[in-house]
Amino acid sequence: MNGYEYKDVIYEVRGTVAVITMNRPEKLNALSAGMTEGMAEALKAGQMDSNVRVVVITGAGRGFCSGQDLQARSLAEGRGLPDGVEPTIADRRYNIHAIQAVARAAQQLDKPYLAALNGPAAGAGLDLASMADIRFAAKGARFTTAFARNGIVSGDGGCYYLPRIVGMAKALDLMWTSRMFDADEALELGYVTKVFEPEALMDETMAYAELLSNCAPISVQYIKQLAYQSQNTDLDTALRMAQYMQTIATSTDDALEGPRAFREKRPPNFTGR
């Protein structure tokens, strides 16, 4: 295992899985200057590392992410405000710009991206979870969009992601009312894929990450690209993209290794080449 620590973010590589941990447990991992910047950098590191096949995000302690730290000054300065002093409009605008960098880094990640929701996710914290491809939750975890209750809107893609995950009507209900929903309802809505006991969440998430790591990396990445790009185009264009990617995929060593392993009745050894 290897890795390094940004301010308020721990990035470590366990075999072929990169784990990003938001690390402000005393504040339920509320977003700070260092955390936002560190998450964007960690996502880029996971993308650039050819040995990493899957990226997992979670939170330290008992929370995933409670959203933007409203007592924090602009992310450029990264220091707290005195009690009773509200952030300025410029501060808040910069905060939005910084969190959008995380959304863009997540969008550019062409490897599987899993979220282990170990506890509360609210506001921008829920948006961070929504940027992942697949979410697993701890039983008892609770979630809320929060924005309408505070007179604001999601500035980092929440209104983009949530309808694509649960459908427009359900997303609007969650966003308009800002009501709390728990892990069981999240499973029913299709927001999370599975719910585990809290003590089993990371083990189960890592087991799934390892399962994906053992698949052909190029196939996995192309499937992800095709699935997302096909949502925003017509069938003809999607079929052409599939043809181009299939031509590349079938020319790889892994395309030979899969059938060979099947014939030899052994697990395949995919190299990503």
Per-residue DSSP letter, 31: B
Q: Where are the beta strands (DSSP E) in 175-226?
A: 181-182, 194-196
- State how far the Cα of 39 lies from the Cα of 57, in Å rounded to an integer: 9
60, 22 contact by CB (below 8 A): yes
Instruction: Report yes or no on 270 lying in a domain.
Output: no
Domain that holds residue 15: 2-213
Instruction: Report yes or no on 122 lying in a domain.
Output: yes
229 and 162 share one domain: no
Tell how many helices (H) and how many strands (E) occur in the chain.
Answer: 10, 10
Tell the burial category of 72 from Cβ atoms under 10 Å away from its Cβ (0-12, 13-18, 19+).
buried
- State how far the Cα of 76 lies from the Cα of 151, in Å rounded to an integer: 24
For the segment 53-71, what is each residue's pLDDT rounded down to a tens digit? 999 999 999 999 999 876 6
CATH number at residue 252: 1.10.12
Instruction: Report yes or no on 269 lying in a domain.
Output: no
pLDDT attached to residue 99 = 84
The two three-digit tokens of residue 121, written as one number: 């996710």
Handedness of CA 74, 80, 85, 86 (dihedral sign): positive
> In the listed set 171, 186, 213, which residue is the last one of a domain according to the structure?
213
193 and 230 share one domain: no
Instruction: Report yes or no on 40 lying in a domain.
Output: yes
63 and 89 share one domain: yes
The total domain count for the chain is 2
pTM of the predicted model, to two decimals?
A: 0.89
Nearest 5 degrees, angle CA 271-CA 48-CA 202? 75
- State how far the Cα of 187 lies from the Cα of 249, in Å rounded to an integer: 34
The two three-digit tokens of residue 230, written as one number: 């096909």
For the segment 119-177, what is each residue's pLDDT rounded down to a tens digit? 999 999 999 999 999 999 999 999 999 998 888 888 889 999 999 999 999 999 999 99
For the segment 11-60, what is each residue's pLDDT rounded down to a tens digit? 999 999 999 999 999 999 999 878 898 999 999 999 999 999 999 999 99
> In the listed set 193, 213, 233, which residue is the last one of a domain according to the structure?
213
> What sections of 26-136 are H helices per DSSP?
33-48, 89-108, 124-130
Contacts of 135 (CB under 8 A, 6+ apart): 114, 115, 117, 129, 186, 191, 192, 193
Tell the burial category of 199 from Cβ atoms under 10 Å away from its Cβ (0-12, 13-18, 19+).
exposed
Query: For residue 85, is pLDDT > 70?
Result: no
Question: Cα torsion for 73, 75, 79, 80, to the nearest 10°?
Answer: 30
68 and 129 share one domain: yes
Residue type, 130: S
204 and 221 share one domain: no
Instruction: Report yes or no on 272 lying in a domain.
Output: no
> In the listed set 171, 192, 213, which residue is the last one of a domain according to the structure?
213
The two three-digit tokens of residue 143, written as one number: 């979630």
126 and 259 share one domain: no
43 and 117 share one domain: yes
162 and 74 share one domain: yes
Instruction: Report yes or no on 165 lying in a domain.
Output: yes
- State how far the Cα of 31 lies from the Cα of 24, in Å rounded to an integer: 8
3, 12 contact by CB (below 8 A): yes
Instruction: Report yes or no on 222 lying in a domain.
Output: yes
Among candidate residues 164, 125, 165, 131, the one with its CA nearest the CA of residue 145 = 125
CATH number at residue 127: 3.90.226.10
Query: For residue 73, is pLDDT > 50?
Result: no
137 and 186 share one domain: yes
166 and 259 share one domain: no
59 and 113 share one domain: yes
Instruction: Report yes or no on 271 lying in a domain.
Output: no
70 and 117 share one domain: yes
